Each structure stands twice: as C-alpha cells, then as structure tokens.
Structure 1
Amino acid sequence: MEPKRKQKFFLLVLAAIAASLAAGWYYLYSVQNSLWNKAVTDILEVTAQGRHALDTYVEKDQENLQFIVSGLEKESPEDGAAILERLRAASGTDALYVCVDLENRLAYTPQFDEGYPLQEAQTAVFEQLEGERGIREPFINDYSGVWTIGNYQRFAFADGTPGYAQKTQPLKEIAERFSLTFYGDTGFSYVVNQQGNIMIRSLHPNSNRTFQNLFDIIDLQGNDPQQVEGFRAALENGKRGAARFRYQQEDYVFCYVPMETIGGWYVVSIVPDRVIMEQADTIMQNSQIFFFIIVIGILVLTAFFLVSRDSARQVLKAEEKARRAAESANLAKSQFLSNMSHDIRTPMNAIVGMAKLASDHAAEPDKVKEYLKNISMSGQLLVGLINDILDLSKIESGKMALNNSTASLEQLMTELVNIIQPLVQQRKQAFEIRLHGIRHEILCFDSLRLNQVLLNLLSNATKFTPEEGEISVDVTETPSQKPDCAHFTFRVADSGIGMKPEFVKNLFESFTREKDSRVDQIEGSGLGMAITKMIVDMMGGEIRVESEPGRGTVFTVELDLQLACEDSELPPLPGLRLLVADDDPATCRSAESFLRELGVQADVTESGRAAVEKALAAHRQGRDYDLVLLDWKMPGVNGIQAVRAIRRETGCEVPVIIFSAYDWARIEREATEAGVTGFIQKPFFKSTLYRCILQYVLHKDLPAAVSSGEIKLAGKHILMAEDNELNQEITRELLESAGAEVEIVNNGKQCVERFARSAPGAFDLILMDVQMPVMNGYEAARQIRAMARADARTIPIFAITADAFAEDVEAAKQAGMNSHLAKPLDIPHMMREIQKYLHA
C-alpha cells in the first residue's frame, strides 16, 4: 500500500505542476493578447483622429474652391482678365488655382497674364475626371515639375460655357502637415486608395520611397497570401481594422481607417509590433513573477491535498487582475449621459403618470394630494439621480460618498411601491411585497442609494417580465455579526425571461446588455447593474443573482444597516381583537407577529371566504372584532366582496380596512360603497398597523413620533434675497403657511442694505440665493458678517442655490453661511434646517 500511495502522490504533484504551467501559460498569453489589443485600439483611434484632420482640411479646400467657383460662374469665358483677377486673389504661396474653359480649351493660372491653350492630352485629363467635384490623385505639375494634389469642380460660365476649376498644392506640404507618428517616432502612416496605391507618402525615415503600392511592399516580405487578400478585400469594401504583416525583416501592425470626404482613400498607420509590446514589458514581468508565486503556492497546497480548490482560487484572482489591467477605466462623459436614460425614465414615468391622475381627479382633493405626494417623492429621487450624472468625476473615479443618516425603512419601501406601481399596473403584473422578522424600522443608512439599488432591480423586473407575470420583494431582518447593526436581506424575484449563464457572469459590467431579440426594443443604458453593484459594495454589502432563460431572475442583496438611536419601541395598545385576511402566508405571519408585539390578539386567515366566516362566528358570539384587515386581491372572494358579505351578514359597524400594494384609487368608490372604512398600503410595518389602529379603532391623533411633524414659524421674521419671481412665490407661500412673516428683496445689494436699516434682532433668518444680479449671495453674506452689530455675526444665513456640488457647499461655508439648500428645494429638509436654527 505504501508504494502505491507514494506513486499516487507523485502523479498528483506532476499533474498539479502540469496544470499550473498550462494555466500560467494561458494567463500570460491572455494578458499579452489583451494588452496588444488595447494598443492596437489606441493606434486605430489616433489614426482616426488624423483621418478626421485630413478630412476637415479637404472639406475646407472644397469650400474655398466652391467660393471661387461661385465667382467664376458670374464671369464670361471671353473676359480672361476678370478670370485671372479672381484666381490671383485666391492663390497663396503654396496653393494655386487653375480655371479651364473646356469648350475653347483655354487654361487660366496666375503664373500667366492671359489664358493659354491646352494640349489635347491635357484637355483629355480634365474631361476624364469623374463627377461634378472631387480630388485628383497625385500628379506631376506641368509648370513646377513637382508632385501635386488638387481639388476640382466643374461649373458653367455666365453664358453656359462648361468650365473646370482646380486648387492645387505640393503633395510634400500635405505629407508634412498630416503625417502621423507613433511610439517615439517608430511608426508612421500612408494615405492609400482601395487598390493600395500610395496617395500621400509619409516623410518618416522608415517610409519606403521606392514602391508606389502598399501591396508591393507587403508581397515582397513573404506574408501569408490569405492575410494579404483579406487586407485587400477590407480596403475594397470600406472596412476599418488592423492587420499584421512582415515588413523590413520584422512584424508590423497595419491599422487602416477609411476617409469620409474622399471615397476609396484610407489612412494606414504602420507600427512595429515589438514597440507595441515594449509598453507591456513591466506588466508582463510582474505577471511572470506573480505566476511563479502561484506555482509555488500550488505545490505547497498539493502536499496537503488542497491543490484543486486553492489553485482555482488563485487562477480566478489572476484572471481578475488581468481583466482589470486590460480594462479602460475612463468612460466618455457624453456616452455616460446618453446611457443614463435607463435610470431616469422610471421616476419620470411615475411623475407623468401621477400628474395625469391628478388632472383626471382634480375635483377630488384627497386623491390629488396623494398624487402630488407621489410626484414629490419621484421628483426627489430624480434629483438625486441627476446629481449623480452631473458629478461625473465622482462617479467615473468610483469615489461616490455615502450620505448615511437616520431614515425610515417603512418610508423607503412606501416610496418604492409608489414609484413602481404605474409600471406594474400598465403591464398587468402581479406584485407582492413581504416582510419577514422586521424588528427595526428606523436605521442609519443612505436612503437615496438603497432606493436606487432596489428601484434598478424592480424596474428591470417589470421590463423583462411579460404581462400578467409575477414580481415579488421579500425583506428579511436577521441578527447581524456587526455590533449595533441589523442584517437585512432584500430579495427581488420575477417570472420574466431570465438570462443566459454566460451573460450573468458579466451582468455587473458597465454598458452590458444581453443580445436577445426579446430585449432589443427595451430601453436601458447598460449602467444600471454596474451602478447597483458599486453602491452595494460601498455599503459593505453583497449582491447575488440567480437566473435561467424562461424561468425568471432572483436578485439578493445582503446589507448590514446600523441601528439608530431614534428607533424607540411603540407603546402597547389595549387588548383588542383583529382579523387579518391575506392569501399570502408570509404577510399573515408578519402581521400576526407585529400585532402580538403591540399587545393585540390577531386571528389570521388566507382567504376572503374564511374571513367572512370568522367575522360571522365572532358576531354570533357577541364578540365582534375591533378591526378587520382584508387584502384587496384574494382568489375566490376578494377583499371588497368579503366586506359586502360581512356588512350584510353581521350588520355591525366594525371598521374594515383594505390593504394592497396597488393603487386603490380606481376601486375606492366601489369599496366605500361596499362599506370599507379606509385603506392602507403594503408592505405594512408595525408602525403602519399601529397608526391604523389609533386612527380607525381608538380614534386618536397620531403621536408626535409618527406624525407629520409640522413646523410652526409664527412670530418669525425672515428676509429672503431671490431674483426669480416664481421661486419668490413658492418659498413665500411655504414659509407663510407655517406662520412666518417673509420680506423679499431682489439681489444681494438690496439684502445688505435692508439688513443694515433694520433694528438689531428684527430678522430671525436670511435666505440667500447665490446667483443674483448686482451682488451675488456670497458677497452679500460676507458684507453682512462684517457689519459692526451683534446680530450680524449670529443671524442664520442659508444659501438657496442650484449649485449643488461639494465645492459649492464649501463656498457657502467660507462666505459665512450656516446651511446650504440645493434647488429644487427638498421642503422637509429645508423646514428641518429652519427648525434646527430657529428652534421652531
């Protein structure tokens, strides 16, 4: 047995070494190939830029020629002096204009004082030129004897005689101006036509001046005929790309880009392959060192029979390092902006939809108020997204900062449901949101970022789930291993089209969308999942995805959220009996647990019919429930039908509440007529049920801890500097509705003068716009702080401005301002800031 074990171990070591060498070779080959491809892409981009410069130059020449032609068209072919005058006025040191009378075979040029007759061969050259305008391939100038290039255009003189105008200049000047060089002057460029004929020859020392055709150079180097023919076909078909050929006893890369203004012409850049790879030597050397370290590690782990698991881990790390080394980190701003429509359209859809509903229900104030509330929430989310888009440097560098503050998980989920409702209803999808073991509602986290994560996942779920499909959100709280934290799991599942395994691997990369005919018509930037992953990572969490084509997708987000000091326990309620009916068992369990914690006895059932039977049985026993909670959408007997049956069979006035994750506006009238007392929205947290019982059972006002927290500013005198009349009106209305007295001035200078004339203590607060005529807000704040009076140094001054970047907040602080409020105004935040400084 012992020799067999040694032999088996020896074979295992050999296999490990072989596998390591193969993996290392593949890794190094992948790195080298990726770096080479990146370098070729850069050369193509520089070639394209050079092409663009030459295109622009040719277009300018054509425009100048057109200007001369427009003058020649007004002249008679008999008036040679006038023709020469126009040509002399346009010709420069190097450029020369020529005009030809094709009918009389006369040519005019500034070198002669009158037209000179053309020889038959010269006339034939002009007559054989194709089209109304174009550019001639390089030719030897009859007058100067140098190689020349020229733009030409046909026209008609004032009497209809056909004419020809041409602008020429030495080919050498074009070559000097538009020759490209690469990698320390080791690479150069040509301009060729589709047949490979060299039109403009680089002045670079490596440029071959003997051959007139690019393919003649390539053919003599012993290159593969199929590769040469592929290159020839690419030029003939107007393609853009790169090829690799032997030239001057070494490998060169040929990058070719077609010109736009001259059909059939190409800019071809030629760079030594060795120079390209020299740029990657350092990375390759480090990779080789890293590879040998991996081999040693694998051998050690093999001795402990762990080679298979640990080698896979090392290979994955190596692949990730290679991918990051080869990936470009600098995304163009214009491309980023154009692709962010995926993240903007969802809240915009909610705003437009809610505005339409508000218009349709203008005569119903309660509904309009609710719609406007939803519009406000969507608008706040949209403002957050726009701030991210504008702060490009922050996003592109991956340096977004979290704004952790005390926030309500209930408010977050409510806003999320309100935004996603119109999308779900439009596609007739089943939408369910469930809570599991929620013990903390008030936490410390970045609510905008978490909202953005969940909204990205849900908006994708609605888009990629067919009509009448199912979408669900499960929120679960469990104990956290981190101190003073709670662990939350957000699970977003759908029954949509799913994703292929190979796409799931790259799902969180920027600008990634699956190639599938079912999603080609669905808008999206390809940035949503990348941003989602980045935010989850910043929050110290983890995101996973499970998906199969045709079987839907499940996203799971794991986060540890810090507990907030404000998350105080709700006071217990008196002994009450409630009935809860929902066909979703998880919702029933959650509601029963919450009510039990509140000291309330709850009977739960999973159908409308069973709820009717329980209510009827309780009535017969003389023990009617204090409150009945019914889900709107239940199979068989739904919530409204159950209400009718309870009212009909019992005749009692027990409060009956309908709850749903959907907008109940369209059934509100029917529900009210059926005897429904009120509505609450899923998901309902413990605080939701608590407020519902206070309102509908105990008929009490909401406690201050859960009320709207309205701020009273009675007796407060506020000075506001704002040059926009609409902003003046909005802010005045908001503050005066809270009881404040508001005085408005139109610029910073008026604000300084009004404060100087006021008695000390006359104003409690100054709201200062920043961008104003005459004097801006920063200067006004500085002058007020410099005044020789006590209240000038203590009066709160708030900057109210559309300049919302971090540097703008710092500028306001440096000017002596106490707070920075960004437009569009977050009204609750503004009132909280006022309350903080005025103790309202």
Structure 2
Amino acid sequence: MNENKGKNVRKILMIQIVLNLVLIGIVLGVFYLLARTRTYPDGELVFIMLFILIAMILSMSVSIYINHRIQVKLDEDRLSRSIIVARASRDMRTPMNTIINASDQDMVSRYNPQDMKNALDNVNSAGKYLMTLIEDLLALSKLKDRQLTLDEKPHTIMECVEESFHMVIPHFEKKSIHFNIEYKNVDVCRYVNVDSVRVQQVLVNLLNNACKYTPSEGHVDLVIEGLNQTDEYVDIQFTLSDDGIGMSQGALKNLLKIMPDDIATEKGMGMTIVNALVKAMNGKITCESQEDKGTTFVINFRWPYCYKDQVEKITTDYSILDGKHILLVENNAMSAEVAKQILESQGMSMDLAVNGKDGVEIFTHAMPHTYDAILMDIRMPLMDGIEATQIIRQSTHPESDIIPIIAMTADAFDEDRQRTRDAGMNAHITKPINPQELFTTLTNYLR
C-alpha cells in the first residue's frame, strides 16, 4: 500500500514538473512573439522579465508545497501504521502466552480431566480474543483507506451481545470484576439485519476499556434496552457503566472525536475503532464520566427486523450434509487436518489436494458425481486457488460450471472476496474456520 502511495507521489511530482515546464514555455513563447512584433523600452523589458521570474517562482513554490504536504502525509501514515503494529503486537502477547502455556507438553502431561477442560477453555477464549485483535487491525486499515463495507445478515440481538461477553469474560474474572447484563423491553431472540462482527467489535473494545480502568472487585453493567419498536425496526440502546477511575472533562471532550487518521497521536486503538464503526453503522455514541467515580457509554442504533423469508433461510439443520464427499484443496497440513475433523463431525468425507495444480488434476479426472463441493485455499505453491478455479470452470468436465467452489482462506479483505467471485467461486469463508458458517454455506449450495 505504501509502495503504491510512493508511486502516486512520483506521478504527482512528474506532473508538477511538466506543468512548470509548460508554463515557462508558454510565458517565454508569448514574450518571444511580442518581442518580434515591437521594440520595448528598457523599463518595459525589465517589467516583463520580472513578471516571468515571479510566475516561475510561484509555480515552483506551489510544487514544493504540494511535495511537502504529500511527504508529511506519507510520514504520518508510516508512523501511524508502525504504532498500530507495535500496539497490536503488545496486545497479542497475553492471549498468545495463554495458548502457548496451556498447550505446553510438560504441563499437559500433568493435567487431570478438569484441568484439561479449563486449559481448553482458556485456549478457546484466547483464540477468540486474538481474532478480535485481528478484526480490529483489518477494520482500522479499511477505515483509514475508506474501504470499510458492512456485511449485514440476520442475527439475534442475544447472539451479538453474548458472543462479545464470552470473548472478554476471562479478563473480568482475572480481576474479580462483577459483570452484569440486563435486557429491557427487547425480544432478544428476534432476528435483526445487522453486521454482527462490527457490533461485537464495538462492544468488545468498550468492555475491554471498562475492564482495564475498573479496579479489582469493581462493577461493570451492560443494559440492552429497546426504546422504540415497530413491525419494521427496533431502536436499540446499549448502556455500559463502570465504577472505574473515570476521566477528566478535558479527556472526555476529545474522546469521541478520535478517528482513524488520529491514531498516531492517541493512546489506544479501541476508541478509534469504536467511534468509526458506530458512525459507519449510522449509530450515535455519547459518554459521561467523572474522575474516581466511573464512566458511562450510551450507544444507539436503529436495527431493521428481518422478514420471514430471510429468517427461514437461516438453518441449523445440517442433516443434508451427511454422506457428502468434498474435495479439499489445501497445502497446509494442520489446516487440512482441522478441516477434516470439522467435515467428519457432520458425516462428510473428503479427499485432499495439496496445491491448486493437484486439485485441478483430481477434479478433472474424477467421474461425475464424485464430489459434491470443492473447498479451495487461495495462497498455494505451484498453482494458487484463483488460477485453479478458473481452469476448473473452463474445463470440459460435465460438472465444471455447477460444482460449488468455496474459498477457504486467510485473505479477508473486500478485494480478496471480489477476486474469488471474479474467478468463479460461489462463496468466501475466512480462516480460522467457523464450523457453523461452513456448514450453513455448504447446506445452502447442496440443497
């Protein structure tokens, strides 16, 4: 990205140089033509030469100023991204430490069944927390580049809230903070059309801040209230209160103004992401705080209810998957083993291709009806998933244009999803794989 910006800077500077030369040429040309048509007194000649000199100086000054502003912007962008990476690295160390220690072979050998369960729970929580950090980094990058798009799908209000709570509960337990969730005047099981990932990012960041600035044995309360409901939408309000250290009025005044371009001068990424995401979802956020007494955030959204036909598409009945045969194209042995276990949990079987070229060979030489779907990684040696998909779609195999091909990749940006669609893939699932998302996607294409 910085390389592209550098190229853009060079293009702009070249344009400025060309414009300067053109301007100088025009002025000199006009002067030459005028000089041929009449004779100028010395005073007029000096004036004309002075005019040309001033024009050249102004033109060069504009170029220097533009060059300076672009360079300052690039320097700020590099500093901003360096700070983001440094903070993310620091934040990732705690969950990584949990995962590494919980899976240490010497410690595992001494676990009793309850210890093993606790260790697995800790690994699961730490893994989910790592995913929130990764999602934060992706969101921040998209927000800075003005590329964030919302992925609104049917979810229950409870799904959005409870998943956020499960991600942060270990941090609250570690500090013995009393955490309470309360629902008021809202049907938590009714489906709304919302980007649950972005909602969870907002809640997780605010909950993490509340935990960070609330002392041990303190209290944090989250109230979810339906303020106004119609047949079409619900006005939902989240109120998060803590009895932590609070903020000064000066800090409070600037807190809700922090946006992605300010990250290089601020203490944390949390509020940057919260403010930008709330704005992107057409929400409103306010905050009240007193030093040594605590802080209260209030967030308001208007969420449309899902229509009946939208909800009916949501299924947890995966019985149709039993007995299906999948071709998995994946070069990473660990990822392949995880995928195998997930597929087998629903009665599916699979064949493995270790790269795109291998996947093309296996599919194109298979008899019709051998495979029900293809799960395709993207970044692989010899042949990537994009090229493999294009070759499969163009092949003479009887099912080349109808077999579902689902991207299963760590590439998570919008442009990555567009690339897989353009290549001929039916869907795009990001790693780490969410089993329910995979089962739902397969069910939708194998009905």
The normalised TM-score by structure 1 is 0.40
Question: After the TM superposition, which residues 500-511 of structure 1 pair with which residues of structure 2 at under 5 Å, given as runs?
Answer: 500-510=248-258
Q: Is residue 355 of structure 2 the alignment partner of residue 744 of structure 1?
A: no
Question: For 1:506, what is the secondary structure of its paired residue?
Answer: helix
Question: After the TM superposition, which residues 688-727 of structure 1 pair with which residues of structure 2 at under 5 Å, given as runs?
Answer: 709-727=317-335
How many angstroms does 1:493 deviate by? 0.7
Aligned partner of 1:824 among 425, 432, 438: 432
Preserved contact between residue 735 and residue 741 of structure 1 (Cα < 8 Å): yes
Aligned partner of 1:417 among 160, 165, 190: 165
Instruction: Find the counterpart in structure 1 of residue 181 from structure 2.
Output: 433
Instruction: Map Cα deviations across residues 149-190 of structure 1 (whole Å, 9 max, x no partner).
Output: xxxxxxxxxxxxxxxxxxxxxxxxxxxxxxxxxxx9xxxxxx
Preserved contact between residue 346 and residue 419 of structure 1 (Cα < 8 Å): no
Aligned partner of 1:778 among 386, 401, 406: 386
Preserved contact between residue 480 and residue 486 of structure 1 (Cα < 8 Å): yes
Aligned AA (2:407): A
How many angstroms does 1:353 deviate by? 9.6
Question: For 1:837, what is the secondary structure of its paired residue?
Answer: helix
Alpha-carbon distance between aligned partners in 1 of 2:309 and 2:126, rounded to the nearest angstrom:
26
Instruction: Find the counterpart in structure 2 of residue 444 from structure 1.
Output: 193
The normalised TM-score by structure 2 is 0.72
Alpha-carbon distance between aligned partners in 1 of 2:155 and 2:101, rounded to the nearest angstrom:
27
* Shift in alpha-carbon separation, 1:397–1:769, aligned structure 2, 3 A: closer
* Shift in alpha-carbon separation, 1:346–1:540, aligned structure 2, 3 A: farther
* Shift in alpha-carbon separation, 1:510–1:361, aligned structure 2, 3 A: farther
Preserved contact between residue 712 and residue 738 of structure 1 (Cα < 8 Å): no
Instruction: Find the counterpart in structure 1 of residue 212 from structure 2.
Output: 463
Q: Is residue 307 of structure 2 the alignment partner of residue 558 of structure 1?
A: no
Question: For 1:556, what is the secondary structure of its paired residue?
Answer: strand
Question: For 1:332, what is the secondary structure of its paired residue?
Answer: helix
Instruction: Find the counterpart in structure 1 of residue 58 from structure 2.
Output: none
* Shift in alpha-carbon separation, 1:371–1:446, aligned structure 2, 3 A: farther
Aligned AA (2:301): L
Of structures 1 and 2, the one scoring higher in RCO (CA 8 A, sep 6+) is 2
Instruction: Find the counterpart in structure 2 of residue 406 from structure 1.
Output: 154
How many angstroms does 1:425 deviate by? 2.1
Instruction: Map Cα deviations across residues 689-710 of structure 1 (whole Å, 9 max, x no partner).
Output: xxxxxxxxxxxxxxx9999645
Larger Rg: 1
Q: Is residue 221 of structure 2 the alignment partner of residue 472 of structure 1?
A: yes
Aligned AA (2:324): K
Unaligned runs of 5+ in 2: 1-19, 21-60, 67-72, 261-265
Unaligned runs of 5+ in 1: 1-183, 185-274, 281-325, 513-523, 570-703
Aligned partner of 1:529 among 268, 271, 295: 271
Question: For 1:561, what is the secondary structure of its paired residue?
Answer: strand
Aligned AA (2:234): A
How many angstroms does 1:833 deviate by? 0.9
Preserved contact between residue 320 and residue 446 of structure 2 (Cα < 8 Å): no
Alpha-carbon distance between aligned partners in 1 of 2:286 and 2:170, rounded to the nearest angstrom:
27
Alpha-carbon distance between aligned partners in 1 of 2:343 and 2:226, rounded to the nearest angstrom:
40
Alpha-carbon distance between aligned partners in 2 of 1:433 and 1:384, rounded to the nearest angstrom:
21
CA RMSD, 1 decimal: 3.8
Instruction: Find the counterpart in structure 2 of residue 838 from structure 1.
Output: 446
Instruction: Map Cα deviations across residues 65-103 of structure 1 (whole Å, 9 max, x no partner).
Output: xxxxxxxxxxxxxxxxxxxxxxxxxxxxxxxxxxxxxxx
How many angstroms does 1:341 deviate by? 5.7
Preserved contact between residue 283 and residue 301 of structure 2 (Cα < 8 Å): yes
Alpha-carbon distance between aligned partners in 2 of 1:349 and 1:554, rounded to the nearest angstrom:
32
Question: For 1:461, what is the secondary structure of its paired residue?
Answer: helix
Instruction: Map Cα deviations across residues 595-636 of structure 1 (whole Å, 9 max, x no partner).
Output: xxxxxxxxxxxxxxxxxxxxxxxxxxxxxxxxxxxxxxxxxx
Instruction: Find the counterpart in structure 2 of residue 498 from structure 1.
Output: 246
Alpha-carbon distance between aligned partners in 1 of 2:139 and 2:431, rounded to the nearest angstrom:
15
Preserved contact between residue 136 and residue 201 of structure 2 (Cα < 8 Å): no
Instruction: Find the counterpart in structure 2 of residue 546 from structure 1.
Output: 288
* Shift in alpha-carbon separation, 1:376–1:739, aligned structure 2, 3 A: same
Preserved contact between residue 449 and residue 535 of structure 1 (Cα < 8 Å): yes
More helix by share: 2
Preserved contact between residue 350 and residue 419 of structure 1 (Cα < 8 Å): no
* Shift in alpha-carbon separation, 1:333–1:545, aligned structure 2, 3 A: same
Aligned AA (1:426): K
Q: Is residue 113 of structure 2 the alignment partner of residue 363 of structure 1?
A: yes
Preserved contact between residue 347 and residue 378 of structure 1 (Cα < 8 Å): yes
Instruction: Map Cα deviations across residues 626-679 of structure 1 (whole Å, 9 max, x no partner).
Output: xxxxxxxxxxxxxxxxxxxxxxxxxxxxxxxxxxxxxxxxxxxxxxxxxxxxxx
Aligned AA (1:395): L
Alpha-carbon distance between aligned partners in 2 of 1:773 and 1:342, rounded to the nearest angstrom:
32
Instruction: Map Cα deviations across residues 484-541 of structure 1 (whole Å, 9 max, x no partner).
Output: 21011111111111111111101134499xxxxxxxxxxx942211221111111111
Alpha-carbon distance between aligned partners in 2 of 1:329 and 1:469, rounded to the nearest angstrom:
39
Question: After the TM superposition, which residues 301-312 of structure 1 pair with which residues of structure 2 at under 5 Å, given as runs?
Answer: none
Aligned partner of 1:389 among 129, 137, 146: 137
How many angstroms does 1:386 deviate by? 1.5
Instruction: Map Cα deviations across residues 699-723 of structure 1 (whole Å, 9 max, x no partner).
Output: xxxxx99996455522312122222
Question: For 2:256, what is the secondary structure of its paired residue?
Answer: coil
How many angstroms does 1:432 deviate by? 1.6
Preserved contact between residue 712 and residue 739 of structure 1 (Cα < 8 Å): no
Alpha-carbon distance between aligned partners in 1 of 2:101 and 2:309, rounded to the nearest angstrom:
34
How many angstroms does 1:770 deviate by? 2.0
Percent identity over the alignment? 32
Aligned AA (1:487): D
* Shift in alpha-carbon separation, 1:566–1:422, aligned structure 2, 3 A: farther
How many angstroms does 1:563 deviate by? 1.0
Preserved contact between residue 258 and residue 275 of structure 2 (Cα < 8 Å): no
Alpha-carbon distance between aligned partners in 2 of 1:706 and 1:749, rounded to the nearest angstrom:
35
* Shift in alpha-carbon separation, 1:489–1:378, aligned structure 2, 3 A: farther
Question: For 2:321, what is the secondary structure of its paired residue?
Answer: coil
Preserved contact between residue 340 and residue 525 of structure 1 (Cα < 8 Å): no
* Shift in alpha-carbon separation, 1:499–1:426, aligned structure 2, 3 A: same
Instruction: Find the counterpart in structure 1 of residue 376 from structure 2.
Output: 768
Question: For 2:401, what is the secondary structure of its paired residue?
Answer: helix
Instruction: Find the counterpart in structure 1 of residue 26 from structure 2.
Output: none
Alpha-carbon distance between aligned partners in 2 of 1:830 and 1:353, rounded to the nearest angstrom:
30
Question: After the TM superposition, which residues 779-818 of structure 1 pair with which residues of structure 2 at under 5 Å, given as runs?
Answer: 779-818=387-426
Alpha-carbon distance between aligned partners in 1 of 2:414 and 2:394, rounded to the nearest angstrom:
25
How many angstroms does 1:354 deviate by? 8.4
Alpha-carbon distance between aligned partners in 2 of 1:705 and 1:377, rounded to the nearest angstrom:
30
